[in-house]
C-alpha cells in the first residue's frame, strides 16, 4: 500500500463488539509517514474522516517486536496528538506492514504460537504507549492456505489479548482491522481463501483494497486501475465486494477501498487511446504513479482530454502518448452510492494526502452521510 515510497500495492486506510465500538460507519484515510514533512497529519481535515491510519510500522524480522528509534517515536506521538486534538477528533489506527513489507515476514510470524504472541504483545504495547485507538494489519498477502489458516489463528489470539488488556487496564478496547485483497481469496499457484469465520469473530472490520487492478505490472495495455465494473471479466470493485458478501462476511465489517492516485501508461499510438489501448510501458509520474492532485495538475498543464467511462465507472485522461487511469468526483460518488446499497461498513482512501483541496474526500463523506 505504500506507493509514494515503494510502488507496490497500496493503500489510504477502520468497527462492532464489534460494530458498536465505533458508533458510525467508517470513512477512513491512510496517512503515509514518509509525507510527514510535506503533509503533516495536522493538515488532515477530520470532518471528512472517522478513522485515520498511520502507515506504516513493521516489527523486527527476527523478534517480531518493534524497534522504534527517537525520530519514529516523535512522529508517532505527533500523529496521535494532532489528530486527537482536531475538531472533530478521529480514531487513530496503527497500520502494520504495507506493500513494501512483503509477505515473508508475516508468514513466519504467524506460523508459530510463540512468534504470534511476541508480535501481539509488542503491538499492544506500542499502540498504548503512543496513543492509538487500534491496530490495522496490512499483510500483502497470505499466499497459501496454510498462511491463511495461521492468519485466522493470529486473529483469534489477538482478539483475546486485546480483550484481556482492556479488562485488566480499564481502558477502551483497542480496535482491530486488517487490509485485505479486494476479494476473499489470493490466487497464485493455487487458491488461498481468507478465514472469513475468524474475521467475523475477531476483527472490527476489513479494508478491502479495491484498486490496483491494472498498473505497471500490466504494461502492454491501458486499464482502469479501480473499475467499479469490468465489462470483460470479473476484475472489479463490484465483483470483489459481492464475493466477500457471498463468502459470508458480515456486511458492516466490509469497508471498500478507493484510490486517490492514478496509474499512467505510454500509448503506442496517440490516436488509439481508450481503456485497453496498446501501450509501451509506463507513462509520467513516480514510476507510473500520480497522486490525484498531480493528475489534475497534469491535465490542466497539458490540456489533456478527460474522459468518464460509464462502463467501468472510472476516468482516464490523455495528452500525446501520456495516458492516466484514475478516479474523479463522479466515479467516487457512484462507488460510494453503490457501497451504500450493499449496506456495508464504509469506505477508505489510499491515501489522505492525495486529494486536491479535499474535494473528493468532502464529496464522499457527504454522499455517505446523506
Note whether 215 and 240 are within 8 A (CB).
no
Residues in Cβ contact with 15 at an 8 Å cutoff, skipping those fewer than 6 apart: 21, 22, 26, 134, 175, 176, 177, 204, 205
Quickly tell me which residue has 499483510 as its cell: 139
Specify whether 140 is catalytic: yes
Angle at 250 between CA 249 and CA 255, to 5 degrees: 85
Enter the C-alpha cell of residue 308: 468518464
Selected catalytic residue, list 104, 140, 157, 165: 140
Note whether 32 and 63 are within 8 A (CB).
no
Note whether 315 and 292 are within 8 A (CB).
no
With CA atoms as reference, report the closest residue to 54 among 91, 103, 104. 91
324-342 b/e (C-beta count within 10 Å ≥ 16 → b): bbbbbeebbbbbbebbbee
DSSP 21: T
Q: Name the residues annotated as catalytic.
A: 140
Amino acid at each position: 500500500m505504500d506507493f509514494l515510497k515503494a510502488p507496490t500495492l497500496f493503500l489510504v486506510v477502520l468497527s462492532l463488539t464489534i460494530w458498536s465500538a465505533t458508533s458510525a460507519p467508517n470513512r477512513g484515510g491512510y496517512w503515509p509517514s514518509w509525507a510527514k514533512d510535506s503533509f503533516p497529519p495536522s493538515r488532515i481535515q477530520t470532518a471528512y474522516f472517522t478513522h485515520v491510519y498511520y502507515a506504516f510500522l513493521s516489527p523486527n524480522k527476527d523478534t517480531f517486536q518493534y524497534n522504534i528509534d527517537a525520530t519514529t517515536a516523535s512522529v508517532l506521538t505527533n500523529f496521535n496528538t494532532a489528530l486527537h486534538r482536531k475538531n472533530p477528533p478521529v480514531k487513530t489506527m496503527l497500520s502494520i506492514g504495507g506493500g513494501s513489507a512483503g509477505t515473508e515476514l508475516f508468514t513466519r510470524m504467524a506460523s508459530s504460537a510463540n512468534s504470534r504472541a511476541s508480535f501481539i504483545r509488542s503491538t499492544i504495547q506500542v499502540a498504548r504507549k503512543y496513543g492509538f485507538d487500534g491496530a490495522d494489519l496490512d499483510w500483502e498477502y497470505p499466499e497459501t492456505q496454510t498462511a491463511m489458516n495461521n492468519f485466522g489463528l493470529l486473529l483469534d489470539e489477538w482478539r483475546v489479548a486485546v480483550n484481556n488488556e482492556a479488562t485488566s487496564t480499564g481502558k477502551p478496547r483497542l480496535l482491530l482491522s486488517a487490509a485485505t485483497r479486494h476479494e476473499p481469496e489470493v490466487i497464485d499457484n493455487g487458491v488461498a481463501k481468507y478465514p472469513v469465520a475468524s474475521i467475523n469473530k475477531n476483527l472490527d472490520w476489513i479494508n478491502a483494497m479495491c484498486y490496483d487492478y491494472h498498473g505497471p505490472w500490466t504494461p502492454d495495455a491501458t486499464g482502469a486501475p479501480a473499475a467499479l465494473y469490468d465489462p470483460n471479466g470479473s476484475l472489479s470493485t463490484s465483483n470483489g465486494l459481492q464475493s466477500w458478501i457471498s463468502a459470508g462476511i458480515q456486511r458492516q465489517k466490509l469497508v471498500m477501498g478507493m484510490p486517490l492516485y492514478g496509474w499512467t501508461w505510454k500509448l503506442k499510438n496517440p490516436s488509439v487511446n481508450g481503456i485497453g489501448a496498446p501501450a509501451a510501458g509506463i507513462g509520467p509520474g513516480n514510476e507510473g504513479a500520480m497522486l490525484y492532485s498531480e493528475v489534475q495538475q497534469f491535465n490542466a498543464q497539458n490540456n489533456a482530454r478527460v474522459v468518464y467511462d460509464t462502463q467501468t465507472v472510472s476516468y482516464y485522461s490523455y495528452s500525446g502518448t501520456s495516458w492516466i487511469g484514475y478516479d474523479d468526483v463522479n466515479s467516487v460518488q457512484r462507488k460510494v452510492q453503490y457501497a451504500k446499497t450493499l449496506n456495508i461498513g464504509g469506505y477508505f482512501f489510499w491515501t489522505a494526502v492525495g486529494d486536491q483541496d479535499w474535494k473528493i474526500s468532502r464529496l464522499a463523506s457527504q454522499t455517505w452521510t446523506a
